[in-house]
Amino acid sequence: MKISHEVPLCLLEKSLEFNNYQYALPHLLDQNKEYRDFFLKAKKDGVYIIMDNSLHELGEAYTQERLLYWLDELHPNEFFVPDVWEDMNASIENAKAWKELELPKDILLSAVIQAKNIDEAKNCYQEYKRLGYEKIAFSYGNSYYNGISNCEGALGKALGRRDTIAHMVDTEIIKTRDRIHLLGCALPQEFGWYHFPIESIDTSNPIMAAIDEWRYDEKGLRLKPTTNMNGCFNIQPWAIDMELLEYNTKMFKTINRL
């Protein structure tokens, strides 16, 4: 399982010590020179890069014009094509449209499941596979997860995503060799609950927990940190307990048996 923890600007260089790959947000490539220079150098140095479409941060996917620009300029190894929050039909239409564009052949295009219930999630997955997507992602925050798990809050989100994927594996909608990515998390211990191989994950959870001065215990956390990347991107190094950050990133691997 490849891991990437998104970090504030001041921790980009340090993230090379604990990340298996780097996770790029295209709107920040446009907005911040230091961020942009880091990723361009990382690509030159052979670091594996997955580029998102910035839906989670902006509320909607970044513009097609700028996404195409950064696909050419940064040339990430993987790219999540634009999706629309909890809108299966619009996300599938986007996935179709991006398959028809002329893009560099060596960039792996991935699609993100968006749905209002588990039946839509299954249909969305099958349609992405029909369109030829080799890697498919599940976001952490979909509303229907709480109904699947019959549990509220962060625990319900974590259990609901796990149970959704487990059901799709058991019914062979997800095949043994399918490539799965998990976008974010509600609770950091979720990744240890899977009995199906997950190829990659991205989550800022141990970093945000450290900024909130929350220390992981041997079971992880019971709540999701309140801090997010939008609110702390420009935080100063002196405001971060580096010992706690290093502890949380190590404990993240320990509690998930990674």
Count of alpha carbons within 13 Å of 26, Cβ hemisphere only?
A: 28
Mean pLDDT of the chain, nearest integer? 97
Domains (range + CATH), the chain: 2-255 (3.20.20.105)
SS3 49: strand
Distances (CA, A) of 107 to 24, 72, 156, 192, 248: 14, 10, 34, 29, 32
pLDDT at 234 over 90: yes
The 10s digit of each residue's pLDDT in 173-202 is: 999 999 999 999 999 999 999 999 999 999
The 10s digit of each residue's pLDDT in 138-177 is: 999 999 999 999 999 999 999 999 999 999 999 999 999 9
Distances (CA, A) of 248 to 14, 19, 214, 219, 240: 14, 13, 9, 12, 12
Q: End-to-end CA distance of the chain, in Å?
A: 7
Average pLDDT over residues 95-104: 96
The 10s digit of each residue's pLDDT in 240-250 is: 999 999 999 99
Decide if 58 contacts 14 (C-beta within 8 A): no
Tokens standing for residue 22: 């780097």
Global pTM exceeds 0.85:
yes
User: Looking at the DSSP assignment, which residues form a beta bridge with residue 50?
Assistant: 23, 78
Radius of gyration of the chain (CA): 18
Tokens standing for residue 181: 């990515």
Percent of the chain scoring above 90 in pLDDT? 98
User: Looking at the DSSP assignment, which residues form a beta bridge with residue 137?
Assistant: 112, 181
pLDDT at 254 over 90: yes
What's the pLDDT score for residue 105? Answer: 87
Can you say whether the dihedral through the CA atoms of 209, 210, 215, 220 is positive or negative? positive
